Copies of this chain bind each other. A is one copy, B any other.
Amino acid sequence: MEQKKTDIDVLANGLISGDRKALSRAITLVESDNREHRQQATELLERILPHRKTSLRIGITGTPGVGKSTFIESFGLFLVKENELNVAVLAIDPTSSKTKGSILGDKTRMSELAQEKNVYIRPSPSKGSLGGVTAASMESIYLLEAAGFDTIIVETVGVGQSETAVHGMVDFFLLLIQPASGDQLQGIKRGIVEMADGIVVNKADGSLMDKAVETSKEYYQALQMMPSVRDDWRTKVMHCSALEHRNMDGIWEMIREFESKRRSSGKLLENRKLQELSWFDHSLREGLLEIMMEYDEWNTRKEEVRERIRSGQVSPFQGAEELLSKLKINLGPGN
């Protein structure tokens, strides 16, 4: 009764047994927009989803110049060397499609970490839309978990909605900032501070030491004015020096405290289920809107109504009602 093994079976088995080449090929597959590749990716994911290992997913964000690469290198080395963990680093950068070939860039900027045996660094997929990047990244997390990684770091440069996307796929969300006086806004976007489970002031070294301590105090105080994102966790603020490898243990302790608390209460896994169902709903909504956007007749009529709204002839709600009343929707035959 032996069946001929398909390529996807070989790929899945290679990935599960820890073959790095298989892992890289698999990630490239889930990143592809090609219709045939999508079908193969579906098959692959179906095969590997049950084999996923327990992992901790950490999101890291921060504006350019804050020292994200240095931080991830220092923190990653600490996890690998001091805690014997397998660490994977994924990047989400919706702008990378413009530059392409960021593989070299990513490996160069974390050169020491990249040389570690138990580390896998994957640059951002160079798909166009955040939606595509998001799906690819989330599915890459599944692949990494099936490949045996226990700590998955998802890094984002914080362009557009990418922080929200990363927040929706990780267990712990860390915001990296730099020492700066309170009235300098550091280009941090609205809502990001409130999404953070931990805020870490980097560059607490040399002449910036005092300022780093001051900045962390200021953020601590500002946080008292804001409600918590999680009902069982109050955002913590600390400082560190990635350059001098200082306080990586403190940060890890904070994340571990968060993890153990939420794992034992069941909230961590519950949150992941909610994240997944919310991605499903999100994808349906976005997909629905995409289908509409590609429907020329709809766009033409919509533009006509927009024009009437702009010139104050119709209320936005009535304009929408008018358009929607003409819509016919149905599902084709099932499987």
Chain A positions near chain B (C-beta within 8 angstroms): 38, 41-42, 45-46, 49-50, 52, 135, 138-139, 142, 182-183, 185, 187-191, 193-194, 218-219, 221-222, 224-227, 229, 273, 276-277, 279-280, 283-285, 287-289, 291-292, 295, 297-298, 301-302, 305-306, 309-310, 312-321, 323-324, 326-334
Asked if residues A331 and B194 are in contact (CB atoms below 8 Å), the reply is no
Asked if residues B312 and A49 are in contact (CB atoms below 8 Å), the reply is yes
Asked if residues B317 and A277 are in contact (CB atoms below 8 Å), the reply is no
A225-B193 in contact given A142-B315, A276-B309, A277-B309 (Cβ < 8 Å)? yes
Nearest-CB residue, chain B, relative to A228: B185
A280-B320 in contact given A182-B221, A331-B297 (Cβ < 8 Å)? yes
Which one of B188, B225, B323 contacts A227 once the chains associate, using CB atoms below 8 Å? Answer: B188
Which one of B185, B283, B289, B302 contacts A316 once the chains associate, using CB atoms below 8 Å? Answer: B283
The residues of B that contact A222 with a CB separation of less than 8 Å are 221-222, 225-226
Chain A at the B interface: mostly helix, strand, loop or mixed? helix
The residues of B that contact A38 with a CB separation of less than 8 Å are 318, 321
Nearest-CB residue, chain B, relative to A333: B326
The smallest beta-carbon distance between A102 and chain B, in angstroms, is 23
Asked if residues B287 and A321 are in contact (CB atoms below 8 Å), the reply is yes
| Bound CA–CA A296/B330 (angstroms) | 10
Which one of B283, B309, B327 contacts A320 once the chains associate, using CB atoms below 8 Å? Answer: B283
Asked if residues B285 and A289 are in contact (CB atoms below 8 Å), the reply is yes
Nearest-CB residue, chain B, relative to A297: B331
| Bound CA–CA A112/B50 (angstroms) | 67
Which one of B279, B285, B291, B309 contacts A329 once the chains associate, using CB atoms below 8 Å? Answer: B291
Which one of B52, B273, B285, B324 contacts A291 once the chains associate, using CB atoms below 8 Å? Answer: B324
A284-B138 in contact given A182-B221, A277-B309, A329-B292 (Cβ < 8 Å)? no
| Bound CA–CA A221/B226 (angstroms) | 13
Asked if residues B284 and A224 are in contact (CB atoms below 8 Å), the reply is no
The residues of B that contact A188 with a CB separation of less than 8 Å are 227
Asked if residues B277 and A316 are in contact (CB atoms below 8 Å), the reply is yes
A191-B193 in contact given A277-B306, A323-B284 (Cβ < 8 Å)? no
| Bound CA–CA A311/B143 (angstroms) | 17
Asked if residues B138 and A315 are in contact (CB atoms below 8 Å), the reply is yes
The smallest beta-carbon distance between A7 and chain B, in angstroms, is 19
**A-B pairs with beta carbons under 8 Å apart, 14 shown:** A49-B312, A49-B313, A49-B315, A190-B191, A222-B226, A273-B310, A280-B309, A283-B321, A295-B330, A297-B331, A327-B331, A327-B332, A328-B331, A329-B329
Asked if residues A224 and B332 are in contact (CB atoms below 8 Å), the reply is no
* 10 shortest interchain CB distances as A-B pairs: A283-B320, A280-B316, A279-B316, A135-B317, A222-B225, A287-B324, A326-B332, A222-B222, A182-B224, A183-B224
